[in-house]
């Protein structure tokens, strides 16, 4: 007998993107059902890096301290030539960034996913069902979506009526296929070997990411944890992962980092082959069905932004969806999701492609460019800081990002997250709704207008980081969205207060405050 249930939101896929979306919705009191093909966390390591912006989102979810305990800050980037000579080295400052966290963080994805799922259990309105297969998605005339799935434990069939469906189901997304979206190829396709090892031996290596720039055998080395390591090597024609199934077979590749370490001291966790692709879906939405994460885009891993892009998708869409479901925001604001995220993602993919090209381009031209550009990168004014700067581009103009062509504008960028005079970070003070940050106190009338639509008001400390940030953006005040993106800025508080959209006050009773 087919069982029929109803949920405001159904999320297909319980990876980092799907669980992040579910948690954010739950923080706004929106019930959701999460469906996944796996019963438990997929055990194999995949993503190993996230930046300070994504760490900030994890703080929003309430697991910043837990993630810090299982992650390792990366101290920078070293570019190596084919003979392993150092072409350039870029060291990161160990201090927290503008977002309040280390700029580069190495981790084991199964451990992070376990944290995300454990955290989701704190929200009774979010239900996760594993070991299921989604078989059909139908958009109904009344705007709702019918989704059919089979529980593989007992072969029972279920139909779910949903107001919205989020496809977070990866590169082979059934949701993408159901809405007729096709992947556009950005002309990058390389086969790489991915190797994960563990050892208690001291490899005595510089504690940052090593990029081998070699048109024949490009490679990457990273220390993931206290005893965990990751290597990635470009495969040559005719090679497969089966050729490298033992530590002995891997020796010719890993010797530059493991010389002097016995084979018996190296535990081979995984050897697999990945095809690194650059693709983006031609459309991310049809009706009330949306695509997020790898279902909407695939990026080569050269700048470590694959998983982070999906988490950004969730952060961008969840609060808008919550506002629409609550009836405070018009449904038209959902159009801004693709308008903002697609150009941003395309930019990041192109950046990854540029890095990949610099590592792997062959021929005299490729070698010449590496010699001229890569070896001089650390001495070019501004380029060194740009390589280490984790800040991503501003969002394009939309109904919720009032960008213009003027210089030094803040709209579309992320607000900083400084430590305030009382010892708390800005995010924990502002809450999960809209906020007004102002360089001068708001009048009683102005504050009342802002607070009536659920926004908080914060006055920047004179001479502090926030005041300096506003000054650099030539603004007296800024409206900050729930995802910490600047919606707009201005010098007159009254019209800014009037421009703040109404938004439901978040429930904070079960949410842990972000770490300082």
- pLDDT tens for 3-53 read 778 999 999 999 999 999 999 999 999 999 999 999 999 888 889 999 999
Task: Quick: pLDDT tens for 99-136.
Answer: 999 989 999 999 999 999 999 999 999 999 999 999 99
At which of 277, 298, 322 does a domain end?
277
Encode burial over 200-239: b for 16+ CB neighbours within 10 A, e otherwise.
Answer: eeebeeeebbbbbbbeeebbbbbbbbeebbbbbbbbeeee
* Three-class SS state of 76: strand
pLDDT of res. 364: 57
Is 365 part of a structural domain of the chain?
no
Q: Are residues 150 and 272 in the same domain?
A: no
Name the CA radius of gyration of the chain, rounded: 24
At which of 246, 277, 308 does a domain end?
277
Question: CATH number for the domain including 433?
Answer: 3.40.30
Q: Are residues 171 and 231 in the same domain?
A: no
Give the closest residue to 476 by CA, choosing from 466, 461, 489: 489
The angle subtended at Cα 165 by Cα 161 and Cα 169, nearest 5°, is: 125
Question: CATH number for the domain including 205?
Answer: 3.30.9.10
Q: Are residues 298 and 423 in the same domain?
A: no
* Three-class SS state of 487: strand
Query: Exposed, middle or buried, 382 (CB in 10 Å: 0-12/13-18/19+)?
Result: exposed
Q: Are residues 159 and 226 in the same domain?
A: no
Is 117 part of a structural domain of the chain?
yes
Number of domains composing the chain: 3
Is 55 part of a structural domain of the chain?
no
Q: Are residues 195 and 267 in the same domain?
A: yes
Question: CATH number for the domain including 144?
Answer: 3.50.50.60
Q: Are residues 145 and 196 in the same domain?
A: no
pLDDT of res. 369: 57
What CA–CA distance (Å, rounded) separates 417 from 516?
Answer: 10
pLDDT of res. 378: 54
Q: Are residues 170 and 197 in the same domain?
A: no
Is 81 part of a structural domain of the chain?
no
pLDDT of res. 506: 53
The stretches in the chain having pLDDT less than 50 are 381-383, 386, 507-516
Domain that holds residue 232: 185-277
Q: Are residues 202 and 163 in the same domain?
A: no
Q: Are residues 320 and 419 in the same domain?
A: no
Task: Quick: pLDDT tens for 308-347.
Answer: 999 999 999 999 999 999 999 999 999 999 999 999 999 9
Is 427 part of a structural domain of the chain?
yes
Is 286 part of a structural domain of the chain?
yes
Percent of residues, the chain, with pLDDT higher than 70: 91
Q: Are residues 169 and 39 in the same domain?
A: yes
Q: Are residues 332 and 206 in the same domain?
A: no
3-state secondary structure 106-157: ECCHHHHHHHHHHHHCCCCCEEEECCEEEEEEEECCCCCEEEEEEECCCCEE
Is 242 part of a structural domain of the chain?
yes
Is 28 part of a structural domain of the chain?
yes
At which of 277, 299, 329 does a domain end?
277
pLDDT of res. 1: 53
Instruction: List the structure tokens of 339.
Output: 């308008």
pLDDT of res. 40: 94
Q: Give the Å distances, CA to CA, from 140 to 126, 135, 279, 394, 450.
A: 24, 16, 30, 36, 38
Q: Are residues 311 and 440 in the same domain?
A: no
């Amino acid at each position: 007998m087919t069982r029929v249930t109803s949920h405001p939101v159904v999320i297909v896929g319980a990876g980092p993107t799907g669980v992040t979306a579910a948690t954010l919705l739950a923080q706004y009191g929106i019930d959701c059902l999460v469906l996944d093909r796996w019963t438990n966390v997929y055990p194999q390591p995949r993503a190993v890096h996230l930046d300070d912006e994504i760490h900030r989102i994890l703080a929003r979810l309430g697991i910043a301290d837990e993630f810090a305990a299982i992650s390792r800050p990366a101290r920078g980037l070293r570019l190596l030539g084919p003979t392993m000579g150092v072409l350039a080295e870029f060291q990161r400052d160990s201090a927290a960034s503008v977002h309040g966290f280390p700029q580069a963080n190495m981790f084991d994805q199964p451990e992070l996913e376990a944290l995300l799922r454990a955290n989701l259990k704190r929200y009774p309105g979010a239900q996760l069902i594993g070991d299921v297969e989604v078989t059909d998605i139908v958009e109904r005339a009344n705007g709702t979506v019918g989704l059919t799935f089979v529980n593989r434990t007992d072969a029972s069939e279920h139909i779910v009526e949903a107001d919205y469906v989020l496809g977070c189901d990866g590169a082979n997304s059934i949701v993408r296929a159901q809405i007729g979206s096709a992947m556009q190829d950005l002309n990058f396709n390389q086969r790489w070997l991915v190797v994960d090892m563990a050892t208690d031996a001291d490899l005595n290596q510089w504690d940052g990411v090593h990029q081998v720039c070699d048109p024949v055998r490009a490679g990457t080395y990273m220390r993931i944890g206290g005893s965990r390591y990751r290597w990635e090597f470009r495969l040559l024609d005719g090679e497969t992962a089966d050729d490298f199934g033992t530590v002995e077979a891997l020796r010719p590749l890993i010797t530059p980092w493991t010389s002097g370490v016995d084979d018996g001291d190296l535990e081979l966790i995984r050897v697999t082959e990945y095809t690194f692709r650059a693709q983006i879906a031609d459309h991310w939405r049809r009706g009330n069905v949306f695509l997020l994460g790898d279902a909407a885009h695939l990026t080569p891993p050269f700048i470590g932004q694959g998983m982070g892009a999906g988490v950004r998708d969730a952060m961008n869409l969840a609060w808008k969806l919550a506002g629409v479901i609550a009836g405070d925001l018009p449904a038209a604001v959902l159009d801004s999701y693709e308008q903002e995220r697609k150009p941003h993602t395309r930019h990041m993919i192109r950046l990854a492609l540029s890095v990949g090209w610099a590592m792997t381009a062959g021929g005299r031209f490729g070698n010449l460019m590496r010699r001229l550009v890569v070896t001089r990168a650390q001495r070019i004014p501004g380029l060194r800081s740009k390589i280490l700067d984790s800040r991503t581009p501003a969002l394009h103009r939309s109904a919720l990002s009032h960008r213009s062509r003027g210089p030094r504008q803040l709209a579309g960028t992320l607000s900083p997250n400084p430590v305030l005079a009382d010892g708390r970070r800005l995010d924990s003070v502002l809450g999960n709704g809209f906020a007004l940050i102002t360089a001068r106190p708001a009048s009683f009338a102005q504050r009342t207008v802002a607070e009536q639509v659920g926004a908080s008001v914060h006055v920047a400390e004179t001479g502090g980081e926030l005041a300096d940030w506003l000054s650099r953006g030539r603004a007296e005040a800024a409206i900050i969205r729930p995802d910490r993106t600047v919606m707009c800025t201005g010098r007159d508080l009254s019209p800014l207060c009037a421009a703040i959209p109404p938004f439901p006050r978040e429930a904070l009773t079960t949410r842990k405050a972000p770490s300082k």
